[in-house]
Amino acid sequence: MPGAMNSTEADEGWNLALSRGDAALRAWVLSHPTDLWSEDIGLLLAMAATYRWEGAAGAWRALPYLEKAEILIEARPETSGRLRASAAILRCLVQRSHGDLFAALHSADAALEILSSSHSDIRDRLDLRSAALLKRGTIRVLTGDLFRARGDLERGLRDADATLTPHKRIEALGFLAIVEVFTGSVTEAHRVMRTARPLADRMPGGLWTAPLEIAEMLIAAERDELRHHAPALRRLMSEVDGSEFEFLARHLQVLLAEECDDLEGRFEAIRRMRVIERESTGAALLGVIRMGDRAQALMRAGDLARAAVVLRDESDPAHLVCGAALRARAALAIGEPHRAVDEIRNCFLDEDHPIRSLTYAAAIDAQARVLLGDLRSADAAFRFLLRECARSGALRAFRKVPGRVLSLLIERATRDDLDTAERALLELLASTVDAAGDIADEAIALSPRERMVLARLAAGESPRTIAQSLHVSLNTVKTQLRSVYRKLGASTRDGALERARSLGVLTT
């Protein structure tokens, strides 16, 4: 190697990548003769590392340096385990940025294997093992393997010492908070945020804070407060565009559009999620989230046939988005509460269901039981929902229940023996139920004439009798009834009437 540096100098480049700013590090490397740093593994890896927080574009810039370092490692069997593991971790980051998650997971495993081998001394294992665990944990989040991801992230954070930079700690804590939101505990996610936020506030902004900001907004969505974060979400979208975090930001756009009842905005964000999904490998979390977002948007649009196709093709063994609960919701939409109960029955027996999914299932189950007149079972489902949401701090599941049904359940629950947190949540719901209503099924936009036709249909009049009473043609009444059925998402008279009653469109 021309003008070879000793091992201490070779390692210094990588150490600077962990302790100094990227611009200063690049200047330091480039201050050496090209024929020196271009043949030095440590300096090449240091140069590659300076692009690690620049998303997909940075990953492409890092590749020439990383690939040259890997060639030199292959040609030099004596290369230290530290440099070998560092190269594998960087390769993992590049692959994660490109959406090649299966390959990224393999690289993270390779780094851990190197650190467990005879190539590595104890210092290497102490310094880099936690970094490799954290990287594997972040990838497992993106692949949807959330429970094992939590294990990697918690172990990596627990085992990390002072060599773990604030950037890496902030990113890992952000991913851990995302895991907590998706698996059910908003309260636990908020606890993680209390640890991470002071660290992030002391650091300049960068891509490493994206998971943290995403987690904050997911928490806000579960608490029905995402609209207050709309400016921050717009800023986040510009920062993560083209990165591995973009699809989660797009999901937040869907949630914001849902909260604001912007159906067109929901579909636009979902279409973009589909593009990202096609460009990724192993992004199971994206597929599951997009499936749930699309099915719910189609149901809100009244396109139950297409929603059924989406749910038929769903594959979510971890039940992060419970297909059975969504199918039950579709059954309610066409006035079939018995089928809704049947769809959900097994959810409460499945140990794989996260609490977050179970609360959504309980909300739909409670609604179906009310429509069937089984108030005792409805009370039990609502009490489960109330208990779990009081613990987790989440409110979004209550938005799945029509306002009139929710009011009834709240009134009945006030007679129960509730703890302080449950009582406080019940009082909050009681104070907001009329304003909040049910976002997915609220205020069907029937015209005055359509409401009149629907009311006469509910009174038992035939279309011909309605036409005679209103002094219009039979074809006009049939056209209005088709419009009513479409808006209510029903295909039969009984289904339309059941749906209208559940939404409060019919009060008799």
DSSP secondary structure code for residue 504 in this structure: T
Question: Rounded to whole angstroms, how far apart are CA atoms 248 and 210?
Answer: 10
Indicate the DSSP class of residue 204. Answer: -
Residue 216 exposed, middle or buried by CB count within 10 Å (0-12, 13-18, 19+): buried
Helix then strand count (H, E) for the chain reads 27, 0
Q: How far apart are alpha carbons 426 and 428 in whole angstroms? A: 5
pLDDT value, residue 435: 38
d(CA 244, CA 189): 21
Angle at 10 between CA 8 and CA 11, to 5 degrees: 65
| Per-residue confidence (pLDDT) for residue 191, from 0 to 100 | 92
Q: How far apart are alpha carbons 236 and 273 in whole angstroms?
A: 16
By the 10 Å C-beta count (0-12 exposed, 13-18 middle, 19+ buried), 264 is classed as exposed
Q: At what angle do helices 474-488 and 493-503 cross, to 10 degrees?
A: 60
- CA distances, 81 to each of 63, 66, 127, 146 (Å): 21, 16, 12, 29
Concatenated DSSP letters of 87-113: HHHHHHHHHHHTTBHHHHHHHHHHHHH
DSSP structural state of residue 128: H
User: In CATH, what number does 448-503 get?
Assistant: 1.10.10.10
- At residue 81, what is the residue type? G
* 397 residue type, one letter: A
Q: For the chain, what are the domain ranges?
A: 7-164, 448-503
Largest CA distance in the chain: 101
Dihedral angle sign, alpha carbons of residues 482, 486, 487, 491:
positive
DSSP codes joined into one string, 26-40: HHHHHTS-HHHHTT-
For position 443, what pLDDT does the model report?
Answer: 40
Closest of 40, 103, 49, 106 to residue 73, by C-alpha: 40
User: Could you give the CA distance from residue 506 to residue 491 in angstroms, rounded to a whole number?
Assistant: 17
With vertex at residue 133, the alpha carbon angle to CA 130 and CA 138, rounded to the nearest 5 degrees, is 125
In tens digits, the chain (508 residues) has pLDDT values of 344 444 455 455 545 544 556 777 788 788 888 888 889 898 899 889 888 777 678 888 999 999 999 999 999 988 888 899 999 999 999 999 988 999 999 999 999 999 887 666 777 777 788 999 999 999 999 998 998 999 999 999 998 866 678 888 999 999 999 999 998 788 889 999 999 999 898 887 788 899 999 999 999 999 889 999 999 999 999 999 989 999 999 999 999 999 888 888 999 999 999 999 888 887 788 888 999 999 989 888 878 778 888 887 666 666 777 888 888 888 887 778 888 899 888 776 666 678 888 888 899 999 999 988 899 999 999 999 999 898 888 888 898 888 888 989 999 998 888 889 999 999 988 888 753 444 334 445 566 788 888 888 888 899 999 988 888 888 888 888 888 887 776 778 888 887 777 666 675 5
| Beta bridge partner(s), residue 100 | 281
205, 234 contact by CB (below 8 A): no
Nearest in space to 82 (alpha carbons), one of 141, 13, 146: 13
Alpha carbon of residue 379 to chain centroid? 29
Half-sphere exposure of 314 (CA within 13 A, CB side): 30
Helix (H, G, I), strand (E, B) or coil at 85: helix
pLDDT at position 177, please?
96
**Class of 7-164 in CATH:** mainly alpha
- Indicate the burial class of 228 (C-beta count within 10 angstroms; 0-12, 13-18, 19 or more): exposed
Identity at 109, one-letter amino acid code: D
Residue 466 in contact with residue 477, Cβ under 8 Å?
yes
